Amino acid sequence: TTTHRIALIPGDGIGNEVIPAARRVLDTVAARHGLGFTYETFDWSCERYADLGAMMPDDGLDQLRGHDAILLGAVGYPGVPDHVSLWGLLIPIRRGFQQYVNLRPIRVFEGVPSPLRDAGPGDVDLVVVRENVEGEYGEIGGRLGRGLPEEMAVQEAVFTRKGVTRVLDYAFALAERRGGRLTSATKSNGIIHTMPFWDELVAERAAAHPEVAWDQEHIDALAAKFVLDPRRFDVVVASNLFGDILSDLAAAVAGSIGIAPAANLNPERDFPSMFEPVHGSAPDIAGRGIANPLGAIWSAAMMLDHLGHPEAATHVTDAIATVLAKTPVRTPDLGGTATTEE
Amino acid sequence: TTTHRIALIPGDGIGNEVIPAARRVLDTVAARHGLGFTYETFDWSCERYADLGAMMPDDGLDQLRGHDAILLGAVGYPGVPDHVSLWGLLIPIRRGFQQYVNLRPIRVFEGVPSPLRDAGPGDVDLVVVRENVEGEYGEIGGRLGRGLPEEMAVQEAVFTRKGVTRVLDYAFALAERRGGRLTSATKSNGIIHTMPFWDELVAERAAAHPEVAWDQEHIDALAAKFVLDPRRFDVVVASNLFGDILSDLAAAVAGSIGIAPAANLNPERDFPSMFEPVHGSAPDIAGRGIANPLGAIWSAAMMLDHLGHPEAATHVTDAIATVLAKTPVRTPDLGGTATTEE
Ligand SMILES: CC(C)[C@H](C(=O)O)[C@@H](O)C(=O)O
Ligand SMILES: CC(C)[C@H](C(=O)O)[C@@H](O)C(=O)O
Q: Which residues of B touch A257 (CB under 8 A)?
A: 224, 228
Query: Which atom of ligand 2 is nearest to B187's Cα?
Result: 6
pLDDT value of position B115: 95
State which of A86, A129, A240, A299 you would mutate to test the pocket of ligand 2, scoring each by most atoms of that ligand within 8 A of its C-beta.
A86
Nearest CA in chain A to B242: A220
pTM of the prediction? 0.96
Q: Are strands B213-218 and B152-160 parallel, antiparallel or unpaired?
A: unpaired
The amino acid occupying position B334 is L
Is the pLDDT confidence value at B118 over 90? no
Q: Which amino acid is at A289?
A: G
B123 vs B311: which has the higher pLDDT:
B311
Q: How far is B96 from B176, CA to CA, in rounded Å?
A: 29
The one-digit pLDDT tens for each residue of chain A (342 residues) are: 779 999 999 999 999 999 999 999 999 999 999 999 999 999 999 999 999 999 999 999 999 999 999 999 999 999 999 889 999 999 999 999 999 999 999 999 999 999 999 899 888 999 999 999 999 999 999 999 999 999 999 999 999 999 999 999 999 999 999 999 999 999 999 999 999 999 999 999 999 999 999 999 999 999 999 999 999 999 999 999 999 999 999 999 999 888 999 999 999 999 999 999 999 999 999 999 999 999 999 999 999 999 999 999 999 999 999 999 999 999 999 999 999 999
CB B26 within 8 A of CB B298: no
- Residue B228 parent element (H or E): helix B219-228
pLDDT value of position A251: 95
The amino acid sitting at B28 is T
- Let me know: does B102 contact B130? Beta carbons within 8 Å: yes
User: Mean per-residue pLDDT for B213-238?
Assistant: 96
| Nearest-angstrom CA–CA distance, B63 and B93 | 11
In chain B, % of residues over pLDDT 90: 96
> For ligand 2, atom 9, which residue shows the shortest CA distance?
A244
CA end-to-end span of chain A? 29
User: Class assignment of domain A141-253?
Assistant: alpha beta
Residues facing residue A276 across a β-bridge: A262
Tell me, yes or no, if the two domains B1-100+259-342 and B125-253 fold the same way.
yes
Q: Are B336 and B137 in contact (CB under 8 A)?
A: no
Question: Ligand 1: which residue has its CA nearest to atom 4?
Answer: A190
Among B59, B26, B28, CA closest to B42: B59
Which pLDDT tens digit goes with each residue over B31-71? 999 999 999 999 999 999 999 999 999 999 999 999 999 99
Domain extents in chain B: 1-100+259-342, 125-253
Residues in chain A: 342
Task: Determine contact, residues A231/B115, Cβ cutoff 8 Å.
Answer: no
The answer to whether A161 contacts B141, with C-beta atoms less than 8 Å apart, is no
Distance CA B98, CA B252 (A): 28
DSSP string, B229-289: -GGG-SEEEE-HHHHHHHHHHHHHHTT-TTT-EEEEE-TT-SS-EEEEESS---TTTTTSS
Residues of B in contact with A142 (CB under 8 A): 193
Burial of B336 (0-12, 13-18, 19+ CB in 10 A): middle
Q: State the distance between the two ends of chain B, measured CA to CA, in whole angstroms.
A: 29
Q: In chain B, which residues have their Cβ closer than 8 Å to the Cβ of A219?
A: 244-245
Residues with beta carbon inside 6 Å of ligand 2?
Answer: A 86, 90, 244; B 189-190, 220
* C-alpha B82 – ligand 2 centre gap (Å): 29
Question: Whose atoms come closest to the Cα of A218: which ligand?
Answer: 1
Q: How far is the CA of B189 from the centre of ligand 2 (A)?
A: 7
Residue B11 pLDDT level (bands cut at 50, 70, 90) = very high
CA separation for the pair B7, B97 (Å, rounded): 14
Determine the 3-state secondary structure of B315 from DSSP. Answer: helix
Tens digits of residue pLDDT in B259-294: 999 999 999 999 999 999 999 999 999 999 999 999
Q: Which residues of A touch B228 (CB under 8 A)?
A: 115, 252, 257
Report helix, strand or coil for B300.
Answer: helix
**Cβ partners under 8 Å of residue B204, min gap 6:** B165
pLDDT on residue B126 = 96
Cβ-Cβ contacts under 8 Å, A251 against chain B: 224
Architecture of domain B1-100+259-342: 3-Layer(aba) Sandwich (3.40)
The pLDDT score that the predictor gives to residue B19 is: 98
Atom of ligand 2 nearest to the CA of A86: 3
Predicted local confidence at residue B230, as pLDDT: 94
pLDDT of residue B56: 97
Distance (Å) from the alpha carbon of A29 to chain B's nearest alpha carbon: 32
Closest to A267 measured CA to CA, from A98, A106, A93 = A98
Most ligand 2 atoms within 8 A of CB, residue of A90, A102, A257 to mutate: A90
pLDDT (tens digit per residue) in A33-57 = 999 999 999 999 999 999 999 999 9
Dist CA A55 CA A2 (whole Å): 32
Q: Does residue B232 contact residue A256 with C-beta atoms inside 8 Å?
A: no
Give the count of beta carbons closer than 10 Å to the beta carbon of residue B337. Answer: 11
How far away, in angstroms, is A278 Cα from ligand 2 center?
8
User: Which residues, judged by CB distance below 6 Å to any ligand atom, belong to the binding site of ligand 1?
Assistant: A 189-190, 220; B 86, 90-91, 244
Ligand 2: residue whose CA is nearest its atom 12:
A278
CATH 3.40.718.10 fits A1-109+257-342, yes or no: yes
Of all protein residues, whose CA lies closest to atom 9 belonging to ligand 1? Answer: B244
Fold for domain B125-253?
Answer: Isopropylmalate Dehydrogenase (3.40.718)
